[in-house]
Amino acid sequence: MKNIGFIGIGIMGKPMVLNLLKAGFSVFVLEKSGRSQEVHEAGAHVCSSVKQLVESVEIVISMLPDSPEVEAVLFGSEGIMQDLKAGQVFIDMSTISPLVAQKIHAELAKLNVEALDAPVSGGQVGAEAATLSIMVGGSANAFAQALPIFQAMGKNIVHIGEAGAGQITKACNQMIVGMTIQAVSEAFTLAHEAGVDLVKMREVLLGGFAQSRILDLHGQRIIDRNFKPGFKIKLHQKDLNIALATGKAFQVDLSGTAQVADQMNKAIAMGNGELDHSSLVVVIEKEKK
C-alpha cells in the first residue's frame, strides 16, 4: 500500500485519517497539527516538518477550510511545492474555488505531479462511518491510483471529469443542501407556530416525496435543538459564495442560492457561525412576523 501524507486533521480530517489507518495505509501527519497526538495513538506517523512528510509518502492529501489555506500549503514559504517530486500525487479533498483547483492542477503538472480535486459530501457522520460521497476531478490515471484510498473513506466515489470538475460538482451539492436546509427550517418553523407536533410531522414526511437525508438528520437536530457542529454554518456560507462566484463566471442566475447565502450571513452576524448549518432555522424563527 502507498504511504499517505495527510494535512488538515479537523472535524472531517481526523476521522478520515483514522479510516485510512483502519484500512491498512501508512499515514504521515504534521506534528504541529492540533490532533496529531490523537491520530498518532491510532498508528499515524508524526513528522516534524513538511519536507519530512512529503519525502516519506507517494500521495499527499489536504483537507482544509478554504482556497487560501490550500494555496498556502502548496505555494507558501513552507509550501510542499518545493519538495514534491515527479510521480507523486496531490489530492485536495477540501471544498475550494474551481478556478483555484484548476490553477493547482496546472502548476503541479509542471513538476510532473498529478493532482486531483476530490471534495466530499456527507459531513462528520459520513467521515466517521467512511461513507462519504467523493466527487473527483483530474486525470483517469491519477483517479485509478487514488481509488483504493478513496474507498477507505467513502462509498459513493465518482470520477466526474477533468481538473475542477470535482469542485464544480461540490458547489452544486452545497447549493442543493443549503436550499433544502432552508426549506426544512421554514417548514418546521411554520408547523411549530401552527401547533403541529414536529416529531410526528417529521415521521410522516420521511415516508413521502419530501423525504431527504436533511429532513431526517437535520429535522431531528431542529427538534432536539442540537446545533453542535457537524458542518459549521460559516463554512457552508463560504461554499455558497464559491457557488455564486462560479455562477457569475458562467453567467447563471443562482437566485435561490443567493437567498440562502444571505440567510447564512445573518446567522453569522447573530454570532452563530460556529454552529451546525441546521441552525439556519434560528434565523427564520427570529424573523417570523
**Which CATH number goes with the domain that contains 19?**
3.40.50.720
For residues 186-214, average pLDDT: 97
Domain containing 41: what range?
3-161
> In this predicted structure, which of 4-8, 119-123, 202-206 has the lowest mean pLDDT?
119-123
155 noted as active-site residue: no
pLDDT digit string (tens) for 160-183? 999 999 999 999 999 999 999 999
Choose, from 170, 232, 234, 238, the residue flagged as catalytic: 170
pTM of the full structure: 0.88
Banded pLDDT at 287 (limits 50, 70, 90): confident
Given 161, 196, 229, which residue is the final one in a domain?
161
152 and 237 inside one domain: no
196 and 131 inside one domain: no
Banded pLDDT at 282 (limits 50, 70, 90): very high
pLDDT at 289: 60
Q: Please, are residues 18 and 35 in contact by the beta-carbon 8 Å criterion?
A: no
Average pLDDT, the chain: 95
Predicted confidence (pLDDT) at residue 1 exceeds the cutoff of 80: no
Given 146, 161, 176, which residue is the final one in a domain?
161
Q: Please, are residues 60 and 39 in contact by the beta-carbon 8 Å criterion?
A: no
* Burial 247-268, CB ≥16 within 10 A → b, else e: beeeeeebeebeebbebbbbbb
Given 108, 132, 161, which residue is the final one in a domain?
161
259 and 277 inside one domain: yes
198 and 138 inside one domain: no
9 and 89 inside one domain: yes
210 and 276 inside one domain: yes
186 and 84 inside one domain: no
